[in-house]
Amino acid sequence: MYLQIVLLILLITAILAVAVIVGKYMAAVYKHERSPLDFLKQVEHFIFRVGGIDPQQEMTWKQYAVSLLVINGIWWILSFALLLLQGSLPLNPAGNPSMEWSLALNSSISFLTSTNLQHYSGESGATYLTQIAVFTFLQFVSAATSLAAGVAIVRGLARKASNSLGNFYSDLVLSVTRVLLPLCLLAGILLMFCGVPMNFNKPQSITTLQGDKVTVATGPVAAMLPIKEFGSNGGGFFGANDAHPFENPNVASFIIHVFMVLLLPAAFIFFLGYYINQKKFSRMIILIMCVGVVLLTIPIISQEIAGNPLQSKMGISVLSGNTEGKEVRFGSLLSSFYAGINVAIPAGTLVSMHDSYMPLSGISMLLGMQIDAFFGGVGTGWINMLVFVIIAIFMGSLMIGRTPEVFGKKITMRQIQLAMGIYIAQPLICLGLTGITIFAYNNLNAAGAAPAWFSNNSSHNFTTVLYEFTSSFAGNGSGFEGLADNNVFWNLTTAVAMMAGRFIPVLGALAIAGIMLRQRPTPYSAGTLQTDSASFGVMLFFVMVVLQVLSLFPALVLGPINEYLTQLS
């Protein structure tokens, strides 16, 4: 176990070292400076000509936001239509049927918003055509949209007395051609060497050692996996996600998956430092994020390694930890580590069943998704962090009696209102939908018409519902899979949470950046709050944690804490 921990620390160190290089490269790309992939300019110019786009045309924050919304709307309509018709379209050797309308609606919104919440099983619910033309395509463009929005907001901090955040379409195309595609191509080749399938064969029927006949699906898996990790997406080709041996066959592929999940969210923070020439600030943010991920992951690991006390009382050995719902090739430690980083980063990929984790592990998972800024998603992690930075600066400036400002730009009342609105939206929507769901279920149950949603009992059901909506809003997409969620109610309510969780922070942050654009930086003085100092870093960390704990604590008492106390008794 100790050797595994040392190796994981070395792996994280290596990822951060590579992230510095990638972040510097990204700064060159988005500043339109020379970079190693400049030979792709002809491809990019061809895309702009076909789309009738002038990449040099500057946009205000409102034009940027409208462009983002319009093209996302077009992608959603096309994806929704393909899912409704997939059973009648080519590349369907397994003969999978078309999706029911509410499932098609949920699935298209899920991948459009980078959530990748899957109320279907990939091998039986989608065809090769929709896996490629809908899900893989949306994983690329949704991640590129997140990157573009994040880059625009960084420009809002960097530019002085301007009205322009750049060009959305230029940022979108560059994100795909210069960042996502090259990384995915390299990772896809490495995954094929690890044994991940890459074909278009129809499912095969085989006989197991026990004499049972099973159908084994393969497909273009190696081509689809990298973008689900690099783009903080998380949608698996198979229903079991990264726990499936064809998605994650061995320890080598496990290392590649961890590398892919962490690289771009970390690189984006280094990109921020290079772009606005605030490297000390970016290092401080990276340190906060690393500390946050460690503090979220350690309780999960300790709970799962300790094992289930109910099994101990039954005389069952727990030396291997809580092994229920975990793959034996990874064990309790690696599974818990992977769970920790995948709730901090909204990739939401799974190598184990979160529903089978110990009750207190669920607290760390929920907090990680609620904060959604300990690395967070590609681009969106910085958006969420900016909200906390503004709130922390406002509070800190009140303490020292100074006007709040960041990088020399004053934070106005309007920006504080926008930041608080973005922050409040998550607990308001997640807890509100959870309350509505529990109220509806209890009333239906009292009338003898309770739907068959849950496979567990009492407080665990509450945690399951809260987790589903928190994961949906945070763009995570993982779930406590003891929930029968492929029905109209769950498909529609989670779709609402996913849309709100995607566009409220992005549009709100673009508005904040638009206000900052027009300001001229004021000179630093002795009374200016130093936002790159260790003291501000500590304050920022506690603001993030305390705000989320206060908003979530009553729900945690009703859910995982209640379940833990019940388990003890």
**Domain coordinates of the chain in residue numbers?**
2-204+213-568
Q: How far apart are CA 33 and CA 71, in angstroms?
A: 27
* pLDDT confidence of residue 527: 67
* pLDDT confidence of residue 316: 83
What is the C-alpha end-to-end distance of the chain, expressed in Å?
30
**From 261-270, 354-363, 400-409, 469-478, the region with the lowest mean pLDDT:** 400-409
pLDDT in tens, 61-86: 999 999 999 999 999 999 999 999 99
Q: How far apart are CA 489 and CA 494, in angstroms?
A: 8
Count Cβ neighbours within 10 Å for each residue of 95-119 and write b for 16 or more, e otherwise: ebebbbebbbbbbbbbbbbbbbbbb
| Percentage with pLDDT > 70 across the chain | 99
**From 34-48, 306-320, 456-470, 549-563, the region with the lowest mean pLDDT:** 306-320
What is the sign, positive or negative, of the torsion defined by CA atoms of 122, 128, 132, 133? negative
Is 377:350 a contact under the CB 8 Å cutoff?
no
**From 23-27, 129-133, 482-486, the region with the lowest mean pLDDT:** 482-486
Residue 175: pLDDT above 80?
Answer: yes
pLDDT in tens, 258-312: 999 999 999 999 999 999 999 999 999 999 999 999 999 999 999 999 988 888 8
* Secondary structure in 3-state letters for 346-397: CCCCCCECHHHCCHHHHHHHHHHHHHCCCCCCCCHHHHHHHHHHHHHHHHHH
Higher pLDDT, 546 or 1: 546
Question: In terms of Cα–Cα distance, which of 323, 284, 333, 318 is closest to 530?
Answer: 284
For residues 117-124, average pLDDT: 88
φ, ψ of residue 405 to 5 degrees: the values are -150, 155
For residues 480-506, average pLDDT: 93
* pLDDT confidence of residue 481: 79
* pLDDT confidence of residue 45: 94
For residues 156-176, average pLDDT: 92
For residues 377-397, average pLDDT: 94
pLDDT in tens, 190-230: 999 999 999 988 888 888 888 888 888 888 999 999 999 99
pLDDT band, very low/low/confident/very high, at 409 (cuts 50, 70, 90) = confident
* pLDDT confidence of residue 217: 85
For residues 132-152, average pLDDT: 96
For residues 499-504, average pLDDT: 97
| Percentage with pLDDT > 90 across the chain | 73
Residue 525: pLDDT above 80?
Answer: no
* pLDDT confidence of residue 187: 97
* pLDDT confidence of residue 526: 67
* pLDDT confidence of residue 311: 81
Is 339:293 a contact under the CB 8 Å cutoff?
no
203: Cα separation from own chain's centroid: 30
**From 20-24, 88-92, 306-310, 471-475, the region with the lowest mean pLDDT:** 306-310
How is 461-475 classified by DSSP, letter by letter? HHHHHHHHHHHHHTT
Across the chain, mean pLDDT equals 92
Rounded to 10 degrees, the C-alpha dihedral 539/541/544/547 comes to: -50
Residue 520: pLDDT above 90?
Answer: no
